[in-house]
Amino acid sequence: MEAKKQDRGLLRIDRDECKGCGLCIEACPPKVIALSEELNHYGYRTATYAGSGCTGCGICFMACPEPGAITVLRAVVHSAARTALEGSACASN
């Protein structure tokens, strides 16, 4: 059985800011954004996140012309190797 990959990011899409241009949909590498069937109060079909599969790359955020319409949250991964590297900082820094 194949283990499910953990999401590395999470999207939040503000339905009041999104104008449904579709630029984020085209830009998304894992293709986890689509247009909703519902309309927002301006009459636009807005972007919607599939709920999983986000890599946290932020390309959708960069492609979006509406400030504040998309927020990308990146997951912080704590591994033993990373913790060991952070704990061995040079004393001169």
User: What does the pLDDT look like over 42-64, one tens digit per residue?
Assistant: 999 999 999 899 999 999 999 99
Residue 3 forms part of a structural domain: no
Instruction: Give the model's pLDDT for residue 83.
Output: 46
Sign of CA dihedral 35, 30, 82, 93: negative
- Total tally of structural domains belonging to the chain: 1
- pTM score, whole prediction: 0.74
Q: Which residues of the chain have pLDDT under 70?
A: 1-5, 77-93
Instruction: Give the model's pLDDT for residue 76.
Output: 80
CATH number at residue 70: 3.30.70.20
Domain range for 29: 9-87
From 71, 74, 73, 75, select the one nearest 15 (Cα to Cα). Answer: 71
For the chain, counts of helices (H) and of strands (E) = 3, 4
Report the DSSP pairing between strands 9-13 and 70-74.
Answer: antiparallel
Instruction: Give the model's pLDDT for residue 11.
Output: 92
d(CA 91, CA 74): 30
